Amino acid sequence: MMMDLAAFQEMLASALRPVAAEIVSPWFYVQVGLLLVAAGIAAVVGSTVRSRSNDSTGAAWPSSLRRLLRGLTLSTGVVAFALTTFAMRAAMIALAPPHHTYLLITAARLAIAWLVIRLVASLIRNDTIVWLVSISTWVVAALSIVGWLDPVVDALDSVAVVIGGIRLTPLLVIKASVFLAVALWLSGFASRLIESQIESTNDLTPSLQVLLSKIVRLALIVVAVMTVMAAVGIDISSLAIFTGAVGVGLGLGLQKIVSNFISGIILLTDKSVKPGDLITIGDFFGRVSSMKTRYISVAAGDGREFLIPNEDLVTQKVVNWTYSDRNTLVKIAFATSYDVDPRAVCKLAADVAAATPRVMAARPPSCLLGEFGDNGMKFVLTFWVADLGEGTDNVKSEVLAALWDKFRSEGIRIPVPARDVRLTDARTASVAAEPPRGGAGEA
């Protein structure tokens, strides 16, 4: 249904009639000149204050007060403009009737409205959201100050499109967008508070903490959306027409998103992978640092972090080094010559490993004779470490270095393959290779 064109023109003309009356008055141009002077004064004052402001001011204050102070510093020019405009209006009232100062008082009210809105919005952390909220709220306040709010609201509500029993108007879309943004921000703020309380609870496992945090966040988002729909007057039952569209969307492009979300819930429920676990998936090895809705973050230990989709952890082979036992067995193979007692070698190697830092004393090291090789006897030394996250190559290096020192002090030789190289004279080799003459095969 479209608004009647004549009615719209009449509404617009009635709203612009006071403006036209002001423009033809000579006092209008006087006010414009005074406003330009006030704007120049505000620009100078604002620039001076910003150049002399120090970021360290209020460093010990709470973050909300620091943001409020920063917003006030950035709005010093607006304060100067409002005060100057009020002073000019007071001076003009002595020379002209009050209704000839309409432009000055309107500009001053707009400046005060912007100042209040900017200070309140400065409490928000995101600068983009601050400006978006400030501008949209100030537009509404400005329309109310000049008396155009009701005509604009009626005009936005007069154009409508009916879809599935829902009457969609520009006013409904604007209200729903604003309310939804506020509701989602409040739900995000509430979810962060609840998540911090969940993470500080020592009675819950890390996987259960992540699962509860995700459930709380999802529940708050659903509540926020439902509340906004009820606030703007949208009947939830009338949304049944969109169910098919959502199903088509899931079938065409959202399978992976839904699959990763469900896979994340499965991982948190069966506890096969938990924050802090050391895992290997494909060519990636590292510690699970965080579990998100779509992926897990695996810290490699060298500054890199692998973002692995949750679906891969459900469908692919995953090695969890700390699934049921956070201790890890380390094996080292070495060899000695045959001129030493193998039992003495095993005891010496076990003692060396036991004296190495990071080797568990609760599970003593063990050394076994593996086989008699071509060049010497081969042994396998095994020991346990509890802090796999610190790596195994470094502890292997420490044990091998200690074994080398012990072998040298005890006179134990490590076998080295021996190769004999025989050199023969080329002429002798050619004569030896020549077939004998006068043999039976000669004609």
**Spatial separation of the C-alpha atoms in residues 194 and 213, rounded to whole Å:** 8
H helices, E strands: number in the chain: 15, 10
Read out DSSP for 213-224? HHHHHHHHHHHH
Long-range contacts, 374-377 (Cβ 8 Å, 24+) = 374/417, 375/335, 375/415, 375/416, 375/417, 375/418, 376/335, 376/336, 376/337, 376/338, 376/414, 376/415, 377/335, 377/336, 377/337, 377/338, 377/342, 377/345
Task: Look at residue 124 and give its three-state secondary structure.
Answer: coil
**Spatial separation of the C-alpha atoms in residues 275 and 288, rounded to whole Å:** 5
* Per-residue pLDDT, 186: 84
* Per-residue pLDDT, 334: 92
CA atoms within 13 A on the CB side of 252: 6
Q: What is the DSSP letter of 164?
A: T
* Per-residue pLDDT, 345: 92
**Spatial separation of the C-alpha atoms in residues 33 and 31, rounded to whole Å:** 5
Domains with residue ranges and CATH for the chain: 5-158 (no CATH), 166-253 (no CATH), 274-320 (2.30.30.60), 328-410 (3.30.70.100)
Question: Alpha-carbon torsion 60, 62, 65, 71, what sign?
Answer: positive
Mean pLDDT over each residue of the chain, to the nearest integer: 78
Q: Which of 419, 423, 342 has the alpha carbon at shortest distance from 381?
A: 342
Burial pattern 114-136, b for ≥16 Cβ within 10 A else e, equals bbebbbebbebeeeeebeebbeb
Contact 42, 108 (CB under 8 A): no
* Per-residue pLDDT, 440: 45
Question: What tokens were used for 293?
Answer: 């809705």
Q: Pairing state of beta strands 166-168 and 278-281?
A: unpaired
Q: How many CB atoms lie within 10 A of CB 19?
A: 13
Q: How many CB atoms lie within 10 A of CB 39?
A: 16
Task: Look at residue 322 and give its three-state secondary structure.
Answer: coil
The answer for 307, left when phi > 0, alpha when psi is -120 to 50, beta otherwise, is beta
Positions of the chain with pLDDT lower than 70, given as ranges = 1-25, 54-64, 99, 126, 163-165, 205, 207, 235-254, 388-389, 418-420, 424-443
Q: Give this prediction's pTM.
A: 0.50
CA angle 439, 441, 443 (to 5 degrees): 100
What tens digit of pLDDT does each residue of 247-294 get? Answer: 666 555 567 777 887 888 888 777 788 887 888 888 888 888 888 878
Contact 4, 54 (CB under 8 A): no
Contact 431, 390 (CB under 8 A): no
Residue with token string 């906004």? 228
What tens digit of pLDDT does each residue of 123-152 get? Answer: 777 677 777 777 888 888 887 877 777 777
Q: Which of 368, 358, 440, 350 has the alpha carbon at shortest distance from 393?
A: 358
Burial of 425 (0-12, 13-18, 19+ CB in 10 A): exposed
Task: Look at residue 372 and give its three-state secondary structure.
Answer: strand
